Amino acid sequence: MRFLLMCTCLTAIVLLASPAVDKSPVVEEIIAKVNSDIITRSEMDRDRRGLENELRSRGVAAPALQNDVAERSKDILRERIDSILLVGKAKELNISVESEVSKYIAELQVNSKISDAEKFQAYVREQTGQSYEDYRNEVRNGILRQRVIREQVGRGINIPRTELQKYYEEHKNEFMREESVFLREIFLSTEGKDPAATAAVEKKAKDVAARARKGERFTELAKANSDSVTKEQYGELGAFKKGELDKSIENLVWTQERGFVSEPLKRSNGYLILRVDDRHKAGQAALEEVENEIMEKLYMPKFQPKIREYLTQLRQEAFLEIKSGYVDSGAAPGKNTTWTDPAQLKPETVTKEEVASRKRRKKLLWAVPIPGTSKSPERPGVSTSK
């Protein structure tokens, strides 16, 4: 009951910031109460605008845009509730991700090439439409959600090798390979640089290639040094079949074994370092070669339903109220989420006179005879025996 009153009081503070008789405009509308948190109309509207912008960036145009937004907007409240429940569970489990948040933000700053802290924070505000503190908190919550799902759901899913073997035997046609090579790159740009700066880039490229050949992780070197957009994928270029590469590059890498790192290759706008990440020979791939691929195929169909089951369980355990007219598409069966209007809650006592009246009634109770007897009930702690 105390928890219910806390949540309803919180609602009242936001909705009823001024006396009702003033008829002041509502500053914020609360859509749902989730444990000690709330979901507001402005948050829902912001998510909807973000969804629309995302679809526009993918090239979706009217009328498909409106249809897609309308369909996917049905899950906005569900996703908001999911997020609050997962972050709350992370706090309950004492999960800390501050080091991961700091690392993520630091990488973002490095990639932005803005060394000044204040300018970087202004850049974040410009790119996200949020304050730096809000964005950092959003990053933190995102990592917390991933950790909870991984620890509470992912670890409970096991796929035995017999199941991998069975899938492989039944789908061998999926694992017929054409000869291909998998490459990663580190590209150092010389664009716009004078001869002295270009020479410095060449020297750096030779140094990076030498470090890679000595055993430093190519992925980390790519992340730290590459000027290509592939640095975000640690230099990954993917798989190439015969004839898909520039002839000079194909001749260089096609016969090389996994782990080969090239010398810096001079290009028109910089220096390119390539690594043979893997290679597939033509023919039937062995189970060992495709084990991870099969694992992913079998894991995700098991993982996604388990996530929803877990979120349903969290809903069952949570205090959850949703305002009439709004629907949680992930609602837990049988869970009562009826909205309690704080304006309709009647306090136990309102005036001093009512308090005094209750005290008088309590005193008079002891003068009323017990039904069927001529005795009055004994007061607690007062004996009538002689």
- Give the H/E segment covering residue 10: helix 2-15
Identify whether residues 183 and 136 lie together within a single domain: no
Whether the model clears a pTM of 0.95, i.e. scores above it, the answer is no
The residue from 281, 312, 337 where one domain ends is 281
Identify whether residues 223 and 137 lie together within a single domain: no
Q: Is residue 289 part of a domain?
A: no
User: What is the mean pLDDT of the segment spanning 291-298?
Assistant: 91
Q: How many H-runs (helices) and E-runs (strands) does the chain carry?
A: 13, 9
Q: What is the pLDDT of residues 312-336, one digit of tens each?
A: 999 999 999 999 999 999 999 999 9
- Give the H/E segment covering residue 279: strand 270-280
Q: Is residue 73 part of a domain?
A: no
User: What is the mean pLDDT of the segment spanning 106-134?
Assistant: 90
Identify whether residues 140 and 183 lie together within a single domain: no
- Give the H/E segment covering residue 253: helix 247-253
Identify whether residues 138 and 192 lie together within a single domain: no
How wide is the angle at C-alpha 77 spanned by C-alphas 316 and 327, nearest 5°? 75
User: What is the mean pLDDT of the segment spanning 170-196?
Assistant: 91
Distance CA 74, CA 336 (A): 20
* The dihedral sign for the CA sequence 201, 207, 212, 217: negative
Identify whether residues 232 and 274 lie together within a single domain: yes
Identify whether residues 137 and 188 lie together within a single domain: no
DSSP state, residue 130 = S
Distance CA 283, CA 64 (A): 43
Q: Is residue 368 part of a domain?
A: no
Q: Is residue 267 part of a domain?
A: yes
Q: Is residue 203 part of a domain?
A: yes
Domains of the chain: total: 2
pLDDT exceeds 50 at position 366: no
Identify whether residues 202 and 135 lie together within a single domain: no
pLDDT value for 240: 93
pLDDT value for 351: 54
Identify whether residues 110 and 184 lie together within a single domain: no
Of 9-13, 222-226, 293-297, the one with minimum mean pLDDT is 9-13
Residue 97, both tokens: 């991700």
Contact present, 311 and 333 (Cβ < 8 Å): no
> 91 pLDDT band (50/70/90 cuts)?
very high
How wide is the angle at C-alpha 106 spanned by C-alphas 104 and 110, nearest 5°? 115
> 382 pLDDT band (50/70/90 cuts)?
very low
| CATH (domain of 206) | 3.10.50.40
Residue 265's closest CA among 208, 308, 348? 208
The residue from 249, 281, 313 where one domain ends is 281
Q: Is residue 201 part of a domain?
A: yes
Strand 283-284 and strand 265-267: the pairing is: unpaired
Contact present, 349 and 355 (Cβ < 8 Å): yes
Q: Is residue 264 part of a domain?
A: yes
By residue range, what is the domain housing residue 125?
97-147
Identify whether residues 277 and 206 lie together within a single domain: yes
Beta-bridge mates of residue 272: 187, 265
Give the N- to C-terminal CA distance of the chain in Å, as an integer. 43
Q: How many CA atoms lie within 13 A of 367 on its CB side?
A: 5
Identify whether residues 131 and 192 lie together within a single domain: no
Distance CA 366, CA 377 (A): 6
For 153, the 3-state DSSP assignment is coil
The residue from 237, 259, 281 where one domain ends is 281
Identify whether residues 206 and 266 lie together within a single domain: yes
Identify whether residues 142 and 184 lie together within a single domain: no
Distance CA 186, CA 225 (A): 7
Q: Is residue 118 part of a domain?
A: yes
176 burial type by CB count under 10 A (0-12 exposed, 13-18 middle, 19+ buried) = exposed
Contact present, 274 and 148 (Cβ < 8 Å): no
Contact present, 354 and 339 (Cβ < 8 Å): no
> 115 pLDDT band (50/70/90 cuts)?
confident
